[in-house]
Structure 1
Amino acid sequence: MQPVERVISFVLAIEDLKRVTRKVRPLGLDRYENSAEHSWQLALFAYALAPHAGFALDLDRVIRMLLVHDLGEIDTGDTMAFVEGGWEQRKADELAAVKRIFSLLPDGQAAELLQLWQEFETGTTPEARFANAVDRAMPVLLNLNNHGQSWRENDISYERILKRVRGQILEGCPQLWDYLETRLSEARESGFFDWDAGS
């Protein structure tokens, strides 16, 4: 195939990310969000939040990471962040999926996107840590603003939320964690989490 044909094959293949349903609903809607709109929102969130990261960032790299970080879900489906166990196999399956998807592109672009996906997964650069913080924070923000919809539906306790998101958000964007920690604490004090008393 010609390079442009390969790019078109790729862009049509990633259309399937719109079919991957997540566990949280967009604010004010009855349906669940999909992974494509999640990735788009994260890219804009990262752009707006970058001045508050507390350290220098290659923002272009962060945005590209966020645009590709969930493409493996085209083959594997979404896994809620609070699932415990089985992550090693899920990540191996996602790696196989992104290799398949990226291979549709011309070689140089395929290698670049795979490297970005792996950088996000390993979290070893400031950009990857910031991108992971944004990824962890967005569902928290949605849940804080939709009465804990996905937390209620999936029996996720306040303590489990903190255990899963605190470290990555604090490491990737301390100011973002300061904001969320306060919001979560206020929500708990006001009885927001009364539904998880038996968890």
Structure 2
Amino acid sequence: MEEIKGIIDFMVEVEKLKSVERQTKPVGLDRYENSAEHSWHVCLSALMLKDFANVQVDIVRVMKMLLIHDLGEIEAGDIIIYSSETDENKQLERSGIHKLFKLLPEASREEFGSLWDEFEEGESPDARFAKAIDRVPPLLHNIYGEGHSWKKHNISKEKVFAFNGERIAKGSNRLWQEVESRLNEAVESGVLK
């Protein structure tokens, strides 16, 4: 009974991810996306794009990583990716993850903690693909949303290409080629400067 109580408590706590506002607006909407919506979107995207990974991936593990990778934002909030790679922010996310996972039975806590660490390290094929997929929706939000968050945060095309190109190509060269093509169109149309 204690295990199911912890899981239900965890389920209640992760509801808070729905209130974490992200830095981009979903395509066609005039409101900011929340982190729970992002988690759903990247999972569906990974499932659809799995055959384009550079190497074969375990899609269930990838989807688990994508479902839990932003749970630390319940504590840390969402910071635009081009500014969020700080030790302070990563520690805040790690602290939030540990608090959440303490609610779970030991086996789940260990599995999810290990998957979260693996995603953060980004070295395994599954993690490289998950990190690649994680970058795509925010780019599409900007490409098809007049570059709203790029403009708001003064993000240059050089930064967008350098940061995302490496990260996406590590997981899927073919995906990066398509996204790069769309980014180039955004530059040509003046959406990305």
Q: Shorter-chain TM-score category?
A: over 0.9
Distance 2:117 2:127 in 1: 9
Cα RMSD (Å): 1.3
Are the aligned partners of 1:17 and 1:36 in contact in 2 as well (CA < 8 Å)?
Answer: yes
TM-score, normalised by the number of residues in structure 2: 0.96
Where 1:57 maps in the other structure, the secondary structure is coil
Alpha-carbon shift at residue 180 of structure 1 (Å): 1.0
Matched ranges for 1:74-85 at <5 A: 74-83=74-83
Partner of 1:57: 57
Alpha-carbon shift at residue 28 of structure 1 (Å): 1.9
Where 2:78 maps in the other structure, the secondary structure is coil
How many residues align structurally? Answer: 193
Where 1:55 maps in the other structure, the secondary structure is coil
Distance 2:190 2:34 in 1: 30
Alpha-carbon shift at residue 147 of structure 1 (Å): 1.2
Alpha-carbon shift at residue 3 of structure 1 (Å): 1.1
Distance 1:35 1:11 in 2: 15
Distance 1:54 1:115 in 2: 23
Distance 2:23 2:91 in 1: 22
Are the aligned partners of 2:54 and 2:171 in contact in 1 as well (CA < 8 Å)?
Answer: no
Partner of 1:120: 119
Partner of 1:41: 41
Partner of 1:129: 128
Alpha-carbon shift at residue 55 of structure 1 (Å): 1.6
Distance 1:53 1:18 in 2: 29
**Which sections of structure 1, spanning at least 5 residues, go unmatched?**
none
Identity %: 42
Deviates more, 1:51-60 or 1:110-119: 51-60
Where 2:17 maps in the other structure, the secondary structure is helix
Alpha-carbon shift at residue 166 of structure 1 (Å): 1.0
Alpha-carbon shift at residue 187 of structure 1 (Å): 2.0
Residues 118-170 of structure 1, C-alpha deviations (whole Å, 9 max, x = no match): 00000110000000001112101111111111111211111111122111101
Are the aligned partners of 2:45 and 2:133 in contact in 1 as well (CA < 8 Å)?
Answer: yes
Are the aligned partners of 1:40 and 1:67 in contact in 2 as well (CA < 8 Å)?
Answer: yes
Are the aligned partners of 1:81 and 1:164 in contact in 2 as well (CA < 8 Å)?
Answer: no
Distance 1:95 1:136 in 2: 20
Partner of 2:17: 17
Partner of 1:73: 73
Alpha-carbon shift at residue 27 of structure 1 (Å): 1.6
Alpha-carbon shift at residue 189 of structure 1 (Å): 2.1
Alpha-carbon shift at residue 2 of structure 1 (Å): 1.4
Alpha-carbon shift at residue 186 of structure 1 (Å): 2.0
